[in-house]
A and B are shown apart, each in its own frame.
Chain A
Amino acid sequence: MLSRRDLFKVAGVGAATLLVAPGFVGQSFAAKKSLDDALKEKLGITQKDLQASELIKVKAPTIAESGANVPVEVSAKIPAQQVEALYIFIDKNPNPYVAQVDISPANGEVYFATRVKMGKTSPVRAVIKMKDGSYLSAFKEVKVTVGGCG
């Protein structure tokens, strides 16, 4: 039997959870985004819209010495005229979006290299937005022993 006292107790706990929960969820959401969130925010697509492509080559170390400084090189055997932009995402970073490069025919080749921060072991993903609206993608798994996202 549920006494009057128990009922108040349960109601009290329930109310407290309700009060705390939205704030907590909101906070964790802001601090950490999934790859899908980043793709949606930047490109308006989900992971399903990405087509794996062998034309894109992602060059990065298999094991990174430090997550604070991981060299990444992306090149693609696709004519620059057909490409609109190139994106780099690190799947498991707190904020997976790293960079966007707008490609123009003056580039001659689709190529971009930089150094990125990585929080932990994760695929480094290159996404190429084609002029016809499709998205090609390729990735390389990089092992990180010491994270570099602060």
Chain B
Amino acid sequence: MASVGRAIVRVPRKVSKGQVFKVQMVITHPMETGLRKDKKTGKIIPAHYITHIDFYLNDQLVTKIHSSPGISKNPYFAIKLKAEQSGTLKVVYADNKGGKWEKSVNINVA
């Protein structure tokens, strides 16, 4: 899949100061457990899954998710953050095969 590792990060368009808002994201990823067998060849499909997702708010690590093969294919994650000031939310995520990606979104605090 060419699009492995592509992500969509969604935040509210505008938040007021002090408000707790939701950050949602979806990553395109097969999330193979390493336990499944290919039905045609009978060979075990090697594990391929997201290992961690780091959320940086203005270059400060605010949340770290340690993922595992127990998470569904094309994983969805949601966390909450408290709005203090405007800035960028950078999401850095990696998989067990060395894939590493990042995605940034702006946060507007009114």
Contact = CB atoms under 8 A, between A and B. Distances in A.
B65 A100 contact: yes
Interface string B18-44: 001010000000000101110000000
Nearest to A71: B76
Interface of B: 20, 22, 33, 35-37, 57, 60-73, 75-82, 84
B62 A106 contact: yes
Contact of B66 (A94, A95, A96, A99): A99
Interface residues of A, number: 34
Nearest to B62: A106
Contacts of B57: 106
A121 to B, nearest CB: 16
Interface string A113-150: 11111000000000000000000000000000000111
B82 A99 contact: no
Interface of A: 31, 68-71, 73, 88, 90, 93-104, 106-109, 111-117, 148-150
Given A95-B70, A97-B68, A99-B70, A104 B75 contact: no
A111 B79 contact: yes
B68 A106 contact: no
Given A95-B70, A106-B82, A150-B36, A114 B63 contact: no
